Structure 1
Amino acid sequence: MNKKLYSTLAFASFLVFFGCTNLEENILDETSASGLSDRQAADGILVPAYALLPNIFTHTNYFALQEISTDEAILPYRGGTDWGDNGIYLAMHQHTYTSTDPNIRNTWNLILQGVSRTITALNALPTLNDPITKTYLAEARGLRAYYSMLTLDMWGLVFVKDDLGTNSKILRGEEAVEFIKNELLAVEPDVQANVGPGRISKGAVWGLLARLYLNAAVYRDPYGTPAFKPEEMDKVVEYCDKIVSSGQYSLANEYFSIFDMDNHTNKELVFAVDQRADLNGHNRMSYFSLSGDQFPLPAYPAANGTDGPGITSDFYQTWAKAYGSQDPSIDPRFYKQNLSIYSNPADSCVAADNFNINRGILRGQQYGLLRVNGAFLKCPDGKMKVGKLFHDTRNKPTLAVNFTEKIDFTVEGSNYNTGYRVEKYEFSKKSTSGRNFGEADLIIVRLADAYLMRAEAKLRKGGGEAAALADVNTVRAARTARGTPPPALTTMNLDLLYRERGFEFYWEMLRRTDMIRFGKYEDSWTEKSNKDPKKRIFPIPQTAIDGASNLPGYLKQNDSY
């Protein structure tokens, strides 16, 4: 393809990606493409490097690897008919995953495609004569560092090359950590501060550096006991301080607003996958856990859930034990009621514009829109009829959508109603099928994580209990929109901080990394007893091993696979 035409097509993607409006459509051929300015060409070169992030962050890719492998999420073979998938979700949860797992392969491929696109950008941008290229080069390099963090975290290696015509050098351990660190430090002066959460900004670089330093001990020795260096914990504090004191970010008083459809402008977001509606985002984070008989949108009777993963009883019990005789819903991060029928059964008729499903961790009998023969029932006044839900779409009309705490791989524990479900991200009001479209930015780094990473670093260095407690309570105290925030904690240690990270970041694809760093990944939980520390790292996909077979010794499979 003509290079100028390629740049034109990429530029068209850029216009969609960055949300420009009032655009007139022009048909461009290879002749008219020659009229692109260097700025337009630079725009078109950078956007493909970002464009794969929504694909990486789908429910069966990065989410599956980071959540279903942990005590937070479990996905049984529903009813013996759904989500069987040759046992890959059972294996993911039980740490018996193999090098032929398609979700591992797809995640690997997408991330490495992202790396490749950043290298293309790093080679192409210097040929253009526009001042913006300096910033764009820094963004591409920073994004390559982020993709490299993902491969280091999940597979224990990093691919490095600058020349498109050469083979990548493979780094592991200390070398890999140093490469990523140096890349991020190199771009920090040149990235911008106020470009929004969807791009590599100064805040994003600071957040990624803090995360890298916090996990460096694990990355150096992935199968051993992490030896956290005091000087690295100081660096975590330093970069978290930069985020907190920058004045650009603020903690949201409504916890679930962080995950709303319009969260792109939420001041808590530091770095995120830009998923606004005009970017062809997906709704998978919202639909994945809901029942197939929960229909969140009066306008779209085909938009529903899929009876995917629930949370384990083990994870739920961390909430229950923390609050003792009080229900965990006193913590505004646990649950947000939007349907008044739960507290007032007489409210069974709801105007379509006012209908919103509940958010957070959903327990017990679920109520919602009643669908008969493909259409929703209405009250005599034209409002939407709301009532008790049953598993009609599963041909189980007598089985109530009544979520139970028990969920496991037994026949009883794998039924469609088992497991408390999670509805953290707002269900897109434009998702005609429940799967497509998605306005909500998917969060990579947010301000609360800066506070809690800083707290952890202070604890790991020693002597920082009071300062760590203050950081944790600052986050808890911020969630005031619906009344009383979670009660302040009176003491702090690493176990309490680990628990607090579970409460704050559940379902945000941080759990596996947290469990490894806190020494919890070899623990036993529902349907998981494997204690092999080598399962902290995923197998390199067999397709990648096979593809490199003509280079003996180049790509060595990770231990135990």
Structure 2
Amino acid sequence: MKKIVISTLLLSGLLFLNGCTNLEENVLDEASAAGLTDKQAADGNLAPVYARLPDLFTHTNYFTIQEISTDEAILPYRGGTDWGDNGIYTALHQHTPTSTDPNIRNTWLILAQGISRSITAINTLPTINDPNAKTYIAEARGMRAYYNMMMLDLFGLVFAKDDPQGVSEVLRGTAALEYVKSEFLAVEPELLTTVGPGRLTKGAVWGLLARLYLNAPVYREPYAAQFTFKPEDLDKVVEYSDKIISSGQYQLSPDYFSIFNSDNHTNKELVFAVDQRAELNGHNRLAYFSISGDQFPLIAFPAANGTDGPAITSDFYQTWATAYAPRDPAGTDPRFFKQNATIPADSCVSDFTMNRGILRGQQYGLLRVAGAYARCGANYKVGKLFYVTRNRPTLAVNFTEQVDFSVVGSNYNTGYRVLKYEFSKKSASGRNLGDADISIVRLADVYLMRAEAKLRKGDAASALADVNLIRAARTSGTPAPALASMNLDLLLRERGFELYWEMVRRTDLIRFGKYEGTWTEKTNTDKLKRLFPIPQTAIDGASNLPGYLKQNDGY
């Protein structure tokens, strides 16, 4: 009788997520899935492998631990009333998190569940007589490798396991790196090139392999005083980057912010992405997280607003300001800011679209009175915004450069904000129905990885050419001026300009030897903080296997 696994038992999932990996799968016979075709059964086994990606990339999970732990983002206790959360965002920024941090725990749980679901699919799909099964097995195995790669990056370990009834082997260091690498290499021949950025393709695996080889010295020795970049690893970065670039499938987008628009699923710059289309139950939180609670982007939904979350640090802003001084980066680099509306005070509009990028100074927008938009005839009144929703109607929504953890520095208006992903036109609350796919690997990053590999091998001219190619490609506004030279500091700066708010900053800073640096409200230089603590719940859950899950050093 044909066996179909519909889902992983809640119990088995909890066992895995808490660290003990002796899973018991819930296997149902075909009578339990009456009416399912083989294709439906195959699709139904692959879908759970990808299903938690939107949750993983939500604002308080992977985004938070990759960005707020760096010089790029800071989240103060806003006005003494919002985002206090028992100090977890302060601790994350200052590199003093603990093993009970809920955002770290949630990220761990989702990654662990992704590995568990992948194992279930790998073991079930061979029993289904569908022509897609072979490709689906490769995707599930590749996604298991991807989730493990994230585990390796964040926590310094991977879980190697094939048999759902077995116990995962915990690998660290070189063994972990080689395991992930071998899994990607094994599945690459079976993957497709025609299914779009929301599924694992050949291009996606090439991009992930390039990233894996580039970070190989960190993954081998995460606490090394200095990382050793092997020439053979850097050659592989170039090789896999070249495969993507020469495939002809991907193109740099002339309009930088279109990469993050609601309709970006077909944007050819995306190589691998979280499929966030609203019909697939995406969410909108990367758009609403940073902007003000008194910024209401949608005429159709007067309850959809921001949450006054993280801002960029003055340190990160100054990398832009000093790079282009005395010119304003907003008029010099189209990646910094895109103006969609010029709004004189107290005017009327029939439609409204928020500006994008890094938002500075006084903000203008739709005005509300008693929860409804102010009208002027058939149109809508716009003007200077104040913090009415925060019961501070005399405090202007005037974003300042300075932001810190002091009382003054943590007020609602402090810190320049980021609206990179388009605010979904379907989001009734600002927290739901996000249409924009979230980039995991895109072509510009591929060029920058190739540039870094070449630079580390001594070929500064080729690295400079790759960086300037990206700059010249953004032609929807005046392209950023070409650079005249290239070194590692400039390349890290360029990665910040191109990839800010895209959840790569922590990994970049570690690889470039900058994570122990000093920036606003952060002076911790402990290299043991390069890895996050394994959640205490995971260690406790594995307590029946003595020594199985050891806490990372420094926690």
Could you say which TM-score interval applies, normalised by the shorter chain?
over 0.9
C-alpha offsets along residues 65-119 of structure 1, whole Å, 9 cap, x if unaligned? Answer: 0000000000000000000000000000000000000000000001100000000
Distance 2:418 2:69 in 1: 16
Quote the offset at 1:4 in angstroms: 5.5
Q: 1:396 to 1:71 in 2, by over 3 A?
A: same
Q: How does 1:128-527 map to 2 (within 5 A)?
A: 128-224=128-224, 225-329=226-330, 330-341=332-343, 345=344, 348-352=347-351, 355-380=352-377, 382-462=378-458, 464-482=459-477, 484-527=478-521
Identity of aligned residues (%): 74
Match of 1:120 in 2: 120
C-alpha offsets along residues 498-556 of structure 1, whole Å, 9 cap, x if unaligned? Answer: 00000000000000000000000000000000000000000000000101111111000
Quote the offset at 1:393 in angstroms: 0.4
C-alpha offsets along residues 372-391 of structure 1, whole Å, 9 cap, x if unaligned? Answer: 001001223x1111100000
C-alpha offsets along residues 143-183 of structure 1, whole Å, 9 cap, x if unaligned? Answer: 11110110000000000110111110000010011001110
Match of 1:16 in 2: none
Distance 2:367 2:37 in 1: 55
Match of 2:21 in 1: none
Contact 1:5–1:33 (Cα < 8 Å) also in 2:
no
Q: Comparing 123-132 with 70-79, which one deviates more in the overlay?
A: 123-132
Contact 1:5–1:30 (Cα < 8 Å) also in 2:
no
Contact 1:94–1:530 (Cα < 8 Å) also in 2:
yes
Match of 2:553 in 1: 559
Distance 1:550 1:141 in 2: 28
Match of 1:21 in 2: none
Count matched residues.
531
Distance 2:376 2:499 in 1: 39
Distance 2:128 2:5 in 1: 16
Distance 1:356 1:447 in 2: 27
Quote the offset at 1:340 in angstroms: 1.1
Q: How does 1:534-553 map to 2 (within 5 A)?
A: 534-553=528-547
Query: Which runs of 5 or more residues in structure 2 are unaligned?
Result: 8-28
Quote the offset at 1:347 in angstroms: 8.2
Q: 1:406 to 1:346 in 2, by over 3 A?
A: closer
Q: How does 1:40-55 map to 2 (within 5 A)?
A: 40-55=40-55
Quote the offset at 1:34 in angstroms: 2.4
Distance 1:292 1:306 in 2: 5
Contact 1:459–1:494 (Cα < 8 Å) also in 2:
yes
Distance 1:555 1:305 in 2: 40
Quote the offset at 1:128 in angstroms: 1.3
Amino acid corresponding to residue 306 of structure 2 in structure 1: G
C-alpha offsets along residues 244-274 of structure 1, whole Å, 9 cap, x if unaligned? Answer: 0100000000000000000000000000000
Q: Please, what TM-score do these two structures have when normalized by structure 2?
A: 0.94
Distance 1:290 1:531 in 2: 31
Query: Which runs of 5 or more residues in structure 1 are unaligned?
Result: 8-28
Distance 2:231 2:456 in 1: 8
SS of residue matched to 1:368? strand
Quote the offset at 1:51 in angstroms: 0.2
Quote the offset at 1:198 in angstroms: 0.2
Quote the offset at 1:38 in angstroms: 1.7
SS of residue matched to 1:397? strand
Quote the offset at 1:30 in angstroms: 8.4
SS of residue matched to 2:149? helix
Quote the offset at 1:349 in angstroms: 1.5
Quote the offset at 1:131 in angstroms: 2.0
Distance 1:211 1:422 in 2: 25
Quote the offset at 1:33 in angstroms: 3.7
Quote the offset at 1:59 in angstroms: 0.4
SS of residue matched to 1:165? coil
Contact 1:4–1:34 (Cα < 8 Å) also in 2:
no
Q: How does 1:17-56 map to 2 (within 5 A)?
A: 33-56=33-56
Distance 1:450 1:437 in 2: 29
C-alpha offsets along residues 4-41 of structure 1, whole Å, 9 cap, x if unaligned? Answer: 6937xxxxxxxxxxxxxxxxxxxxx9869423222221
SS of residue matched to 1:399? strand
Q: 1:472 to 1:83 in 2, by over 3 A?
A: same
Contact 2:345–2:384 (Cα < 8 Å) also in 1:
no
Q: Please, what TM-score do these two structures have when normalized by structure 1?
A: 0.93
Match of 2:24 in 1: none
Amino acid corresponding to residue 193 of structure 2 in structure 1: A
Quote the offset at 1:324 in angstroms: 0.9
Contact 2:4–2:124 (Cα < 8 Å) also in 1:
no
Contact 1:234–1:457 (Cα < 8 Å) also in 2:
yes
Distance 1:252 1:158 in 2: 35
Distance 2:479 2:54 in 1: 32
Distance 2:369 2:381 in 1: 11
Contact 2:448–2:495 (Cα < 8 Å) also in 1:
yes
Distance 2:247 2:148 in 1: 26
Distance 1:150 1:559 in 2: 19
Distance 1:120 1:197 in 2: 23
Match of 1:13 in 2: none
Contact 1:293–1:305 (Cα < 8 Å) also in 2:
yes
Contact 1:351–1:383 (Cα < 8 Å) also in 2:
yes
Distance 2:51 2:267 in 1: 21
Distance 2:179 2:131 in 1: 27
Aligned-residue CA RMSD in angstroms?
Answer: 1.4
Amino acid corresponding to residue 304 of structure 2 in structure 1: A
SS of residue matched to 1:443? strand
SS of residue matched to 1:47? helix
